[in-house]
Structure 1
Amino acid sequence: MLRRLPAKLLPETGFLILVFLISGLVLSTGSSLALVQKSTDPIPVEELERWGQFRGEQKWSIPPAAICGLQNGGYAVILIDGTLELRRSGESFFDSVQRFSLKIPGQPTCLLQLTENRFLVGTDRGQLLSCDVNSESSPMEWAPPSGGWKPVALAHRSSNSQVLLVDQRHGQIWELDSEKGNPLQSWTGFIDPTDVTEAGNSIYVTDRGWQRLIPCVDGEKSGRFEEALGDHGASPGLLAGPGGCAAISGRWIFVSDTENHRVQIFGTHGIALHHWGLHALLPRESSGRLHYPTGLVYDAESRVVIVLEVSESRVQYFGARDAESRPDPAELWARVDLISHYGKHWALDRGPDGFLLAVLEPDSERVVVLDRRSETPVEIDDVGGHGSKAALFRTPSGIDFLNRSGFQRFVVADRGNRRLQMFEVRRRPEARVIRESWITALVRSVDLGDLAKTIPEWKSPAPLRPGALACLDSGTIGVIDESSARVLLLNDRFQPMGVLGGSGSLERPVAIAADGDGFLIADAGTRQILRWGLDGSSKQIDLSAVRQQPDGKMEAIPAGVARHPDGTVIWTDALKGRLFRTDSSGRTLQILGSKSPEEVSGTRTGERELFNPGSLQIAGDGSMWVVDFGNHRGVVIEKNGKIRHFGSGSYLPAAQSEPKPESVQGGES
């Protein structure tokens, strides 16, 4: 600290001493800062802008569910079948591998190493299991709080060695005792949290609903949303569906900007410092191109960041390029606009002329309305954008048309805002097929959270989380409540009518379709399809003809379902990219998708191939409309068996330009 000099010193002497003291302070401070930076920042600030160089990749035939770092270097990955791989560097990146088979119920959702041989695993059944990889004993469950939880991400607190957990069911972040999992403190107010990390004196959370990186501070009850980093968009510093985060020091945080297909580096001072990544230009392309990146791990031993891409069943390794080398284009690309793709849900109108297709596009948080009567549907309007005001969305999650005469209406589930919104498309079939803004108008909206407070049978210990929805011809609307695995019923005036499921009858419902006076529900957790009547009765669709795994589960994960006019059930398989038809006797025929590994093409974009398909709809003429989500395209099987595709050009099959006589007549055994 500087102090006043004695008055008897000469002015020149005082000046020299003052300069000396100031110089000494600056030198001392600079040295101290350098030491701190060296100890807390494994990547110097001047090196950050050189990150993004592709160093390698690792692929799996079974989709990975989650990754985490290892205490002594390397990373661990858990596959959806419970296989745990520990990968450390030997002669090359992560070529030393250990494999274990964990006996866990359900499908893993997150992973964290506790000790050398013990890992913490979250599951889609709302469990948190402590597993010893060298023991045959059953995993030990960490008791959840009252109301349960849905663990989707785990992290260590470097400051006190405790465990951080992201509970997506309640929109809450927990700090847990690392020995037995006892809750120590929590933060609330999140919409759709996806990951958590600690940097400096704060905890940071990526949130898909807020589209931000949000800090939390010890002793407080909620996140500091007014200090959040980012907002919705594509320019550097903005985010679209942030899916993962990893602090590499007290100042730098790597963030998976999932729907912008890139990784961004943020400083805790609030500035976006660097980013890299390009959407894969060709199907299944890697070499630094990214496709929906999620989890992140920084490995200090090898000085690389491991980026998980669940949709591609792989990880890619990135490091810093040499200061003298030229950057890859993926490091320099600076997007300023959102490029949207088809989401997992779409709907066909049910009017007598049947000409509309409405598609959810989660990247831009909007609904696109198309005229579907041409070979390639034509966009005629869109509605939405990110926000909480009327006609905006925070993660649109379900859509279906009502059956009515006149102008067609569709209903959208708005997960982040916990509401339903109804829109009317004011376009007649005979109108000219051109884009016209504002032909889609908001009709009504309802806050499901507020409604649940007034309906006793709707009450739940967890906030409502609306997902897929379907509309019956009678006007009854069924909305999946993901947080409580049930279906909420409303009429077309958005007045509550009751509830289906609950009490463990459903596990992870992901799709719903109208079926006469009831609904067909695809449950990805139990890998079943059920038919529910409005009276609460349920019946399981017989899918026993599909190959079973050793654990007794079907070797398929239903992702979309619909009833065909001929009475059969049509459904998609997200696990292996297939489309099936099942009749009332349980006989199941495969319509689309590869039947053996030998048939799978390198790009998975062949005429008869699907890659991570989503929902499907049946048009009035019997044609089948499938969302081929992983390929950014739609697939239509016409009534005469002809197959056609539309969507992103590079993902369309080569046969699109050279039609083949092959057709599909209801499937092959």
Structure 2
Amino acid sequence: MKGAERARAGCLAILVVGAVGAPAAGALSALQEEPGALLRFYNGTLGELHHPVAAAVGPEGVIRVVEEASRTLATFDAAGTFVGRTALVGEGAVLTPGGVALGNDGSVFVSDATGGRVGVFDGEGGFQRWIGVGLLDEPRGLDILGDRLWVADAGRHRVAVFETTGDALGGFGGPGTGAGRLLRPLDVAALGDGRVWVADFDNDRVQLFDADGLALRAVGDFGPFPGLFAGPAALELRAGRLFVADHANHRVQVFDSEGEALFEFGVHALRPREGEGRLHYPVGLAVDPSGRRAVVVEALDDRCQIFGVEANEAAGEELAPSPISPTPTAHLGMSATQAGSLLAVNSPEEHCVLLYDVDWREPRLISRVGGRGVKTGLFLRPAGVCLDREGSRLFVTDPTLRRLSVFHLRIDPQADVGWDPLIARFVKSLDFEYLAGELPAGTLEAPPEPGALTRAADGRLFVCDRRNDRVLILADDLSYVGSVGGRGREPGRLRHPTDVALDGRGETLFVADSGNRRVQAFALPEGELARVIDLPAGTMPHGVAIAEDDQLFVTDVAGARILRFDAESGAPRGGFGREGIARACFHKPRGVSVNRNGDLLVMDHGNHRGQVVTPQGDYVGVFGPRLYIKPARARPATEEDEE
């Protein structure tokens, strides 16, 4: 919980000095002897949520959870019993809930990541006002202390500061890797003296700033060991301790006032839907004022888990910490592309692209491209992947580095391809920050942050730009040609485009306009709007693909399904899929593409696997980690399958 309860309870000002590392034996012994010091017991689960992204603990232990898929605010009492759900619609419609904080008067502040604003609601969910309109890009985490509101603006890589009445007070940060610079900050936690901790997500650290926005201290770096992070996603300050949701390390780390790692809780969930203290990519965190109870938000598994300092009837045996491995867990990403017998899939946690040979009963891994780093040929967050039609060139985007990298693939189509770490050779790259500086003033609002991409037969590349809400058009030599879209909700405008696809003639570009929850089609080469394809209520679109018969396929993250439309008219043609782990079932599907057989390759992201299905939804094959592909191999889905 952030805001009112901490203001009432007070908090200890923290000045972090010294190195971060494993807890000293004496310090840990003292913690174990102190009553209520360690949050080591699983106390229960708040389930059946709709892609929860943040939580706050209010007066008398009431828990508020914001849900992105349903655009709602769910309420649970102190015992974890569901009380009700408030729709964030109407005049105060929140397009994409991103964070939540509670005001001193019981009001609820909810950030709108798509709308670029913060909505203020009364305790019953009634809309009161907007804050930050025109001043924010992608607001995420919030914190309130007294009459001041801090907002982590992931889009502008800074923290904005407001009065809770709405008056802007300034901000600090800006994109970069140096001291005081930020890359996609996702949360903030304020101290009583005006200093602020910031979750510097893409820099894998947390930073402390003074009241004037000057950097005082950075804690952490990338890694699995205590004091290191793999994407700090959420923060909370309680009883002189800093709690950090460590996203891809699947844990919560707790630090003392000197920056030493004290303890952690949560164990990495390895099996599908594993819970009871086992965490899976935590994105949000709320701790009660006493520091004796924590609510950990897991969007990927549609739940929140509660941890406490004492066992209750829900608690099982105490969980030992997960074994630490310096090698990241290989979980498939959201993007995949296929050309001939070659399949490329991004793997963000391994900071690479995986190459598979599909001329086998199941795709066989033959190489990894890239690795972690900032030098050419390396990645921090590989996002979009694209192969040319011959499978001889690989294009990879990295929004953190603002870079597009091109690799030549040395593959003999007549040979039996085995494992070869030298298949890919770096050829060239495009620095989008440099590109933005070379274009005429006003062409782009900010340096692009490239995501998903596709390639036309004539070599043009179409690249989603999450920073400018556009699709950039590049020539085969990577020179700038133009763009479509631009920020807005009107037809022809975009908000957070997540995928692109071309029809077979290369005449129409389809864009997953995820922030506006629709698909738009643009006529080429002019880029004029051709049509808007409205989606069923509640749909969270992410991926788009076009089959040779002009069927348009759209993945629905919230509905665990693939929607089908007529690409020419936009008329719906049904769909397939449902929630589950069995074959032809999905959990948070993301990217989708059409392979050489006309089948669909669906990145079944929540199930950490890729599935191949026919355009009618019939199961063809699966690949990925053994525990997640075994249920699909075993048997067809039945109504009795657990969702």
Q: TM-score, normalised by structure 2?
A: 0.85
Structure 1 window deviating more from structure 2 (170-179 vs 260-269): it is 260-269
**Candidates 259, 273, 280, aligned match of 1:284:** 273
Matched residue pairs, number?
Answer: 590
Amino acid across the alignment from 1:266: F
Residue by residue over 1:278-313, the C-alpha shift from the partner in whole angstroms, topping out at 9 and shown as x without a partner, is 332322121111111111000136821100001111
RMSD over aligned Cα atoms: 3.0
**Candidates 73, 97, 119, aligned match of 1:129:** 119
The answer to whether 1:245 aligns with 2:231 is no
Partner of 2:304: 315
Name the CA shift for 1:540/1:383 in 2 (closer, same or farther; >3 Å): same
CA distance in 2, matches of 1:38, 1:399: 46
Q: Identity over the aligned pairs, expressed in percent?
A: 28
CA distance in 1, matches of 2:603, 2:451: 17
The answer to whether 1:382 aligns with 2:375 is no
Amino acid across the alignment from 1:617: S
Structure 1 window deviating more from structure 2 (580-589 vs 477-486): it is 580-589
Partner of 1:415: 399
Task: Give the alignment of 1:517-532 within 5 angstroms.
Answer: 517-532=507-522
Q: Give the Å deviation of 1:535.
A: 0.6
The answer to whether 1:63 aligns with 2:51 is yes
Q: Is the 8 A contact 1:592 1:610 kept in 2?
A: no
Partner of 1:100: 86
**Candidates 315, 321, 326, aligned match of 1:331:** 321
Partner of 1:209: 202
Task: Give the alignment of 1:73-472 within 5 angstroms.
Answer: 73-80=61-68, 81-89=70-78, 93-95=79-81, 97=83, 99-103=85-89, 104-105=92-93, 106-123=95-112, 124-134=114-124, 138-144=127-133, 148-157=136-145, 161-188=147-174, 189-198=181-190, 202-221=195-214, 223=215, 227-250=217-240, 252-300=241-289, 303-321=292-310, 328-331=318-321, 333-349=323-339, 354-403=340-389, 405=390, 408-456=392-440, 459-472=443-456
CA distance in 2, matches of 1:285, 1:393: 30
Q: Give the Å deviation of 1:49.
A: 7.7
Partner of 1:496: 480
Q: Give the Å deviation of 1:542.
A: 4.2
Gaps of 5+ in 2: 1-9, 15-27, 175-180, 639-643
**Candidates 554, 558, 568, aligned match of 1:575:** 558
Question: Residue 321 of structure 2: SS of its match in structure 1?
Answer: helix
Q: Is the 8 A contact 1:607 1:653 kept in 2?
A: no
Name the CA shift for 1:587/1:219 in 2 (closer, same or farther; >3 Å): closer
Name the CA shift for 1:300/1:370 in 2 (closer, same or farther; >3 Å): same
Question: Residue 650 of structure 1: SS of its match in structure 2?
Answer: helix
CA distance in 2, matches of 1:495, 1:238: 39
Q: Is the 8 A contact 1:208 1:395 kept in 2?
A: no
Amino acid across the alignment from 1:635: Q
Name the CA shift for 1:321/1:436 in 2 (closer, same or farther; >3 Å): farther
Q: Is the 8 A contact 1:562 1:617 kept in 2?
A: yes
Partner of 2:531: 540
Name the CA shift for 1:78/1:623 in 2 (closer, same or farther; >3 Å): same
CA distance in 1, matches of 2:414, 2:441: 45
Amino acid across the alignment from 1:236: P
Partner of 1:637: 613
Partner of 2:602: 626
Q: Is the 8 A contact 1:102 1:131 kept in 2?
A: no
Gaps of 5+ in 1: 1-36, 549-553, 595-599, 662-669
Q: TM-score, normalised by structure 1?
A: 0.82
Q: Give the Å deviation of 1:83.
A: 2.7
Name the CA shift for 1:451/1:240 in 2 (closer, same or farther; >3 Å): same
Amino acid across the alignment from 1:194: L
Q: Give the Å deviation of 1:488.
A: 1.3
Name the CA shift for 1:116/1:527 in 2 (closer, same or farther; >3 Å): same
Name the CA shift for 1:418/1:268 in 2 (closer, same or farther; >3 Å): farther
Name the CA shift for 1:118/1:393 in 2 (closer, same or farther; >3 Å): same
The answer to whether 1:605 aligns with 2:581 is yes
Partner of 1:487: 471
Name the CA shift for 1:593/1:639 in 2 (closer, same or farther; >3 Å): closer
CA distance in 2, matches of 1:267, 1:347: 45
Name the CA shift for 1:88/1:402 in 2 (closer, same or farther; >3 Å): same
Amino acid across the alignment from 1:538: L
Partner of 1:24: none
Name the CA shift for 1:449/1:577 in 2 (closer, same or farther; >3 Å): same
CA distance in 2, matches of 1:326, 1:59: 18
Name the CA shift for 1:307/1:566 in 2 (closer, same or farther; >3 Å): same
Residue by residue over 1:398-455, the C-alpha shift from the partner in whole angstroms, topping out at 9 and shown as x without a partner, is 111123x4x6111111111111111122122233332111221111111101111121
Name the CA shift for 1:412/1:101 in 2 (closer, same or farther; >3 Å): same
CA distance in 1, matches of 2:382, 2:304: 28
Amino acid across the alignment from 2:62: G
Structure 1 segments, 4+ long, off by >6 Å, are: 37-41
Residue by residue over 1:248-300, the C-alpha shift from the partner in whole angstroms, topping out at 9 and shown as x without a partner, is 233x2211111122222233533322223333232212111111111100013
Q: Is the 8 A contact 2:251 2:267 kept in 1?
A: yes
CA distance in 2, matches of 1:167, 1:639: 40
Amino acid across the alignment from 1:580: L
CA distance in 1, matches of 2:96, 2:12: 39
Q: Is the 8 A contact 1:276 1:330 kept in 2?
A: no
CA distance in 1, matches of 2:12, 2:191: 14
Q: Is the 8 A contact 1:578 1:590 kept in 2?
A: no
Q: Is the 8 A contact 1:169 1:463 kept in 2?
A: no
Amino acid across the alignment from 1:207: D
Name the CA shift for 1:335/1:199 in 2 (closer, same or farther; >3 Å): farther
CA distance in 2, matches of 1:204, 1:363: 25
CA distance in 2, matches of 1:388, 1:175: 31
Question: Residue 51 of structure 1: SS of its match in structure 2?
Answer: coil
Name the CA shift for 1:564/1:141 in 2 (closer, same or farther; >3 Å): same
Question: Residue 219 of structure 2: SS of its match in structure 1?
Answer: coil
Amino acid across the alignment from 1:79: E
Question: Residue 209 of structure 1: SS of its match in structure 2?
Answer: helix
Q: Is the 8 A contact 1:409 1:423 kept in 2?
A: yes
Partner of 2:23: none
Amino acid across the alignment from 1:369: L
Partner of 1:592: 576
